Structure 1
Amino acid sequence: VVQQVTPAKAGSNTVTKSKAPAKAETVPVSTTITPVTMYVGEVKTLPVVGVTRVAVGNGKLISSTVLDTEVLLLAEAPGDSSLYLWLKNGNVLRYKLTVHASDTEQSMTNLQSMLNGIPNIAIERVGDTVVVNGTASKQNLARIEAATKTQQRVLNLVREEDVTMKKMVFMKVQIMEFKKSAMENIGIDWSTTAVGPSLAFTADLINNKQFRYSPDTLPATFQVGKGAAQPLNIPSQAGRMYFGIALAITSSLNLAVNNGDAWVLASPELSTRSGGEAKFLAGGQIPIVTAGALGSTTVTYKDYGIKLNIKPVADDQNNISASITTEVSDIDPSFQAVQGNPGFLMRSTESEINVKSGQTIVISGLVDQRSSASVNKFPFLGDVPVLGALFKSEAFRNNRSDLVIFVTPMIHDPASTSNQQRIEKSKDMRERFENFLGKKGIVD
């Protein structure tokens, strides 16, 4: 479409359509093509003075109006076209017009705002479509899908990450034999015991050459002649104190061990990423002989002992949801062996729990004193880790103690809010402690 522009009164221009000239004129045409992007229904102006003629490649896409100092464009349909403007000085300006069905720029802006903070994704415009590409975790995929559905002409190509960097969950497990009287004294409501930090310090209040607190920097062992008494020669540091935060449940367990009311049978430490699985087995294997055809025999090995499977999932608030499966199996002394193969007693629990990082889960009641009778029939059971020591215990045989499992999951995230709060609380407690003593620098 070619439009001829003729000046009109009152400072306006009149646009009239005319046929293209029969003979091409030699005019200086700009070698620069300026891109113009619009969406249907949008109005855009081009600041140009002295326009005498306008040519639009496809008049169904864009209509134009020439004003005194600018050219007014109205996008009417999606597609691509070109625009030529002839000026009074003889120059010709060229434009490449692209009309989208919707406002992709606004869609991109909206998506960038809604998906802000999600790593490893890119939001780009391809033609008249907004493309969201990249990888994301399963939790973020639902957020991306919901956001893209609110915008028009958006293509979601985000896929789930093959390997996701998830939080690590560290689990401190303590398998203990506990006197029942001590458990009653401490209390079974562990939540009231485990809440809140407590102040603990150690100091060289009494020093001599034979016994003194040893810092971690000194070697753990030293050698002397048999029967010889050598001084440690550790520099005296009277009054030097060490500060830390400890859970009250840890202090209660340590106190019970020191008083002879509890015994630590095993202290495994397990680690897995959020959503993974950690396994622990303390026990052994017993060969099971099975008779086959033609007098042949097959030997398989049966696991027994204490099995612990933990599947933790940690969220952004450091809450831990864990599935804990505990199984205790031992030989049944009342079972008459078949072909020399013993029978087994099995007790298992499955629990779904929610805890905060650092809280302790208590599992008990899986073994009773009747299991210790199997040691008499099968003496090698006394050498089995954990269960062997438990079955040989006089307190356990006399039903005065029980097997108790403590599981304390903690999230490995140094930058977490809870960890920073503990650090700040530690600093505050240390400052108050030093102010109380009236001295600085005595706490490491």
Structure 2
Amino acid sequence: MFQHEGLQGIFANDADNSLVVQGTPEAIEYIRRILRFIDIAPKQVLIRAEFVTVSRNDAEKFGIDWNLARVNLTAGASGLADRTAPVFVNYATGNLAANLRALLSQGRGRVVNAPIVTTMNNSPATVFFSTTDYIEQQVVIFDQNGRPTVFSQPFPVPVPTQLTVTPRVNADGTITLTLFPQISTVGRVQVGTNLLPRFDTQFVFTVRRIKNGETMVLGGLVSRTDNSTTLKVPILGDLPIIGQFFRSKDRAIVENELLIFVTATVIEEDTPASGLAP
């Protein structure tokens, strides 16, 4: 390709992605014209990922019906909320995404995180955040006489969520997104008298083509929180047999859904991105 009778040599500098050309002015101009066609800066894509929690009731009112197999992760602990967390992934675009944004504007959803990253065409971008859950852990302390004292204390456990997005800008202006979400949950499992943590990570690989600037929605995580509160009359509520008549139990089940809004926008260059400086 780089053949010209006046060309003496071409040396590449990987450090600054430059070429040093030796030769006649005609040969240098010849190389310059060729590089203007092949040295084209890749397009940049702005990725916005919004992690939003909404109630299952609100999500279903807007017609969300993720008909995919779900994996039930059942866990429970004394003193902690019982959880059943079916994890699944699907996508939706168009009016559904607009309706969900309307739900947020009404204060019926909560934005957990909303990172924005910029990446090159065909280069992956990863967004990551972590929440903290708590499990009860037994601690044993011995006094000076060697007598043990056992008590429970909360122990923090990080629960990470990660989304990797690789955009590909197509010739028609659309963007093909390769998405790899990873969603983690922490549960509890009873082993004898001990309550041990259990970690579950669900992930999926999916590809979706959207318009430039369009938003798609990934259904990520459904959590079921069972909050039980026991009210009782002092002393009487602790009596055997008849104590049940002086106690009442209030149970509230709350189901929330984690939705991931992904918006991909091609960044328009202010100046032409191809060619060399004269």
Q: Return the TM-score normalized by structure 2.
A: 0.50
Q: How does 1:264-279 map to 2 (within 5 A)?
A: 264-279=111-126
Provide Cα deviations, 1:273-305, integer angstroms capped at 9, x if missing partner: 11111111111689xxxxxxxxxxxxxxx9632
Q: How does 1:197-216 map to 2 (within 5 A)?
A: none
Match of 2:95 among 189, 193, 200: 193
Q: How does 1:234-245 map to 2 (within 5 A)?
A: none
In structure 1, how many angstroms separate the alpha carbons of the residues matched to 2:102 and 2:131?
Answer: 31
RMSD over aligned CA atoms reads 4.1
In structure 1, how many angstroms separate the alpha carbons of the residues matched to 2:110 and 2:56?
Answer: 12
Secondary structure at 1:368's aligned position in 2? strand
CA contact (8 A) 1:171 1:408 kept: yes
How many residues align? The count is 173
Cα distance change on mapping 1:260 and 1:163 into 2, 3 Å: same
Secondary structure at 1:342's aligned position in 2? strand
Which entry has the higher C-alpha Rg, 1 or 2?
1
How far is 1:341 from its partner? 7.1
Secondary structure at 2:57's aligned position in 1? helix
In structure 2, how many angstroms separate the alpha carbons of the residues matched to 1:353 and 1:134?
Answer: 42
In structure 2, how many angstroms separate the alpha carbons of the residues matched to 1:348 and 1:313?
Answer: 21
Secondary structure at 1:398's aligned position in 2? strand
* 2:206 is aligned with 1:351: yes
In structure 2, how many angstroms separate the alpha carbons of the residues matched to 1:335 and 1:280?
Answer: 34
**Structure with the larger RCO, 1 or 2 (CA within 8 Å, 6+ apart):** 2
Q: Identity, % of aligned pairs?
A: 18
In structure 2, how many angstroms separate the alpha carbons of the residues matched to 1:342 and 1:163?
Answer: 54
Task: Give the unaligned 5+ runs of structure 2.
Answer: 13-33, 65-90, 134-156, 228-250, 272-278
How far is 1:367 from its partner? 3.5
- In structure 1, the residue matched to 2:254 is 398
CA contact (8 A) 1:166 1:274 kept: yes
Secondary structure at 2:221's aligned position in 1? coil
Q: What amino acid sits opposite 1:168 in the alignment?
A: Q
In structure 2, how many angstroms separate the alpha carbons of the residues matched to 1:190 and 1:324?
Answer: 13
Cα distance change on mapping 1:163 and 1:277 into 2, 3 Å: farther
Q: What amino acid sits opposite 2:207 in the alignment?
A: E
Secondary structure at 1:182's aligned position in 2? helix
How far is 1:258 from its partner? 3.6
Match of 1:262 among 96, 109, 126: 109
In structure 2, how many angstroms separate the alpha carbons of the residues matched to 1:352 and 1:335?
Answer: 39
In structure 2, how many angstroms separate the alpha carbons of the residues matched to 1:187 and 1:125?
Answer: 65
In structure 2, how many angstroms separate the alpha carbons of the residues matched to 1:166 and 1:272?
Answer: 10
* 2:48 is aligned with 1:172: yes
How far is 1:166 from its partner? 0.8
Cα distance change on mapping 1:192 and 1:275 into 2, 3 Å: closer
More strand by share: 2
Cα distance change on mapping 1:366 and 1:349 into 2, 3 Å: farther
Q: Return the TM-score normalized by structure 1.
A: 0.33
CA contact (8 A) 1:357 1:410 kept: yes
CA contact (8 A) 1:169 1:271 kept: yes
CA contact (8 A) 2:217 2:260 kept: yes
CA contact (8 A) 2:182 2:204 kept: yes
CA contact (8 A) 1:335 1:343 kept: no
* 2:129 is aligned with 1:282: yes
Cα distance change on mapping 1:348 and 1:366 into 2, 3 Å: farther
In structure 2, how many angstroms separate the alpha carbons of the residues matched to 1:192 and 1:313?
Answer: 20
In structure 2, how many angstroms separate the alpha carbons of the residues matched to 1:353 and 1:192?
Answer: 13
Q: What amino acid sits opposite 1:187 in the alignment?
A: G
How far is 1:324 from its partner? 0.7
In structure 2, how many angstroms separate the alpha carbons of the residues matched to 1:254 and 1:319?
Answer: 22
Q: What amino acid sits opposite 1:398 in the alignment?
A: V
In structure 2, how many angstroms separate the alpha carbons of the residues matched to 1:274 and 1:335?
Answer: 48
More helix by share: 1
In structure 1, how many angstroms separate the alpha carbons of the residues matched to 2:183 and 2:215?
Answer: 20
